[in-house]
Structure 1
Amino acid sequence: MTTSHSLAAEGLTLGYGDRVVIESLDLAVPPGEVTVIVGANASGKSTLLRSLSRLLRPRAGRVVLDGKEVHRMPAKELARTLGLLPQSPVAPDGITVLDLVGRGRHPHQGIFSRWTDRDDAAVASALEATRTTELADRAIDELSGGQRQRVWIAMALAQQTDLLLLDEPTTFLDASHQIEVLDLLTDLNRTRGTTIVMVLHDLNLAARYADHLIALADGRLHASGVPEEVLTEDIVRAVFGLDSRIIVDPVSGRPLMLPIGRHHVRSRPVPSAGPADATEPAEPVDLAEPPSSARSTGSAHR
């Protein structure tokens, strides 16, 4: 694997029908890092990811991979370098887990090439990494939502690309499996140098796992940088319309966002003044606790 690939958007304008979703956006994906895109619903996160992978053609501007416009690249050439896991992938009826994950090897197959031991090893490694080996002979439509998501991630891993784009890879997963998948992607980045770009809704998981955060608002790039620069109270308010408090995550040392709502913070009432020997009023107690979605300590962040 290599970290030398460059992926960038230049003056990118995207939309559907008469609706413009992204307008005049410029950004560069840091090579060899984990980039997480955040933003409110309908801010353009998934649309941006679709365009970076050339599934959506720009109305204006371009997406450039290693100096080449992605929409002008042969499909297999692009697929050997860049992989995508969309938000709601659809599998053919009756296909088994093993067959689906094996399709991740398609970009590496020529017209006359045969399935090789290398392909077998890539599929087996992807199944093992996502803990889906025991599901290999099961049909996809027999699996739970969480199992299906792990199988789709296995297919993306089997593709063995240097850049991997994932739209909400923790969809349908419980808290334990969310951490497991994000740890897996981070390990892939650390050990193989794979550039990861993913969309996440959970701001605290985004801050914990990202080397680089991108915050979209109303189809424009509102902020980008390291989590400490992007996950601030002012930016959370501007991007999400949410008042919050930012503290330090006791596990990762990254910023941790505590939302403020009418029922999120409660204080004990201060009693009225009494006799001189009465008990002094207690200090207000903040009952807001950090969210439970904290990164496991088993895969330490560098």
Structure 2
Amino acid sequence: MTEQHTLVVERLVLGYGDRVVIDGLDLVIPTGRITAIVGANACGKSTLLRSMSRLLTPRGGSVLLDGKQIHKMPPKQLAQTLGLLPQSPIAPEGITVSDLVGRGRHPHQGIFSRWSTDDDAAVAAALEATGILDLAERSVDELSGGQRQRVWIAMALAQQTDLLLLDEPTTFLDVNHQVEVLDLLTDLNRARGTTVVMVLHDLNLAARYADNLVAIADGAVHAAGPAAEVLTEDCVRAVFGLDSRVIVDPTSGAPLMLPIGKHHVQA
């Protein structure tokens, strides 16, 4: 099991140039649970995740990991606790799948330490969990978009952190592999207690897999909590500007959002 860590955002202000994207946002990430962040395009979902992983320095407010400002923590100490799969990562030219996944072990390497059997085991487990063991010696350059995405997820898993942040982990994946990846993250959460925070575009997948749903709008948290409380017709209208019907998914029991298009309204 993982160690329990707290991740809290207080009065966070983020932006680019003259544009403020997140303004005074407060958020508490439930420890040992799966949180999905949703919202319209350009609402600040990925910006928030980047700040929570220290890639973006706040203009105001704080991101606190176990009560300490994350932007002041030593990078290696942070990387041993918190892992990140960013949006559209770039692999070094010519690198093999196993070598790229192995880079997830760097935070656990000391100045004089050598590659260990624990490192081998972590990489092998990550390759097997993501279904790419047969690609281990292939060049990442040769892979399809979906295969590459699974390689990046394997690298994040090999890092074996207690908190894992993922920005659109289902990008480039077909529906089958989207479900496989989200099932994998759920298994990781249930087996190890890993705290998972992910940005997702698909509302219904977010509602199905997340214990905690966070809807972002106008630079702040519009609603946060269990999916059944957050994914409502009023919330979808306020956050996405979309009329919808929300019913109970007969398979999962989670809320299921059905968009209402102007050409699909029955008289």
**What fraction of aligned residue pairs are identical, expressed as a percent?**
77
- Displacement of 1:262 in angstroms is 1.5
> What does residue 243 of structure 1 align with?
243
Q: Does 1:141 align with 2:141?
A: yes
- Residue matched to 1:180: 180
The one-letter code sitting in structure 1 at the alignment partner of 2:177 is: H
Who is 2:112 aligned against? Answer: 112
Say which SS state the counterpart of residue 123 (structure 1) adopts.
Answer: helix
Higher helix share: 2
Structure 1 segment 1-302 matched on structure 2, within 5 A: 1-2=1-2, 4-266=4-266
* Superposed displacement of residue 147, structure 1: 0.1
Quote the Cα distance in structure 1 between the aligned partners of 2:21 and 2:256.
29
Name the SS of the counterpart of 2:170 in structure 1.
coil
Deviations 1:157-181 (A, max 9, x none): 0000000000000000000000000
Q: Residue 287 of structure 1 corresponds to which residue in structure 2?
A: none
Distance in 1, Cα, partners of 2:9 & 2:113 = 34
Q: Distance in 2 between matches of 1:87 and 1:2?
A: 25
Mapped contact 2:33–2:212 kept (Cα < 8 A): yes
Deviation string 1:32-66 (CA, Å, 9 cap, x unpaired) is 00000000000000000000000000000010001
Q: 2 CA distance for matches of 1:161 and 1:261?
A: 42
Separation in structure 1 between the aligned mates of residue 200 and residue 135 of structure 2, nearest angstrom: 26
Larger mean Cα displacement after TM superposition, 63-72 or 2-11: 2-11
Q: Give distance in 1, aligned partners of 2:262 and 2:219.
A: 29
Unaligned runs of 5+ in 2: none
**Structure 1: 5+ residue runs without aligned partners?**
268-302
Q: Provide Cα deviations, 1:55-99, integer angstroms capped at 9, x if missing partner.
A: 000000010001111111100000000000001101111111010
Answer yes or no: is the 8 Å Cα contact 1:36–1:197 preserved in 2. yes
Tell me how far apart the structure 2 counterparts of residues 98 and 17 of structure 1 sit (CA, whole Å). Answer: 39
Q: Which runs of 4+ in 1 moved over 3 A?
A: none
Partners of 1:162 and 1:47 in 2: CA distance: 22
- Counterpart-to-counterpart distance in 1, 2:157 and 2:115: 17
Q: Distance in 2 between matches of 1:256 and 1:265?
A: 18
**Which of 1 and 2 has greater Rg?**
1
SS in 2 for 1:172: coil
Q: Is the 8 A contact 2:4 2:162 kept in 1?
A: no
Q: Which residue of 2 aligns with 1:271?
A: none
Structure 1 position 2, deviation (Å): 2.4
Partner of 1:91, secondary structure, is: coil
Report what 1:280 is aligned to. none
Deviations 1:5-50 (A, max 9, x none): 0001111000011110000001010000000000000000000000
CA contact 1:12–1:24 (8 Å) conserved in 2: yes
CA contact (8 A) 2:85 2:167 kept: yes
Kindly indicate whether the alpha-carbon contact (under 8 Å) linking 1:3 and 1:195 is maintained by their aligned counterparts in 2. no
Distance in 2, Cα, partners of 1:227 & 1:71: 30
Change (3 A) 1:247 1:3: farther
- TM-score, scaled relative to structure 1: 0.87
Query: How far apart in 1 are the matches of 2:183 and 2:11?
Result: 33
Aligned length: 267
Structure 1 Cα separation of the partners of residues 24 and 266 of structure 2: 43
The letter for the 1-side match of 2:127 is L
Please give the secondary structure, in 1, of the residue aligned with 2:21: strand
Higher relative contact order (CA 8 A, sep 6+): 2
Match of 2:106, SS state, is: helix
Q: CA RMSD in A?
A: 0.8
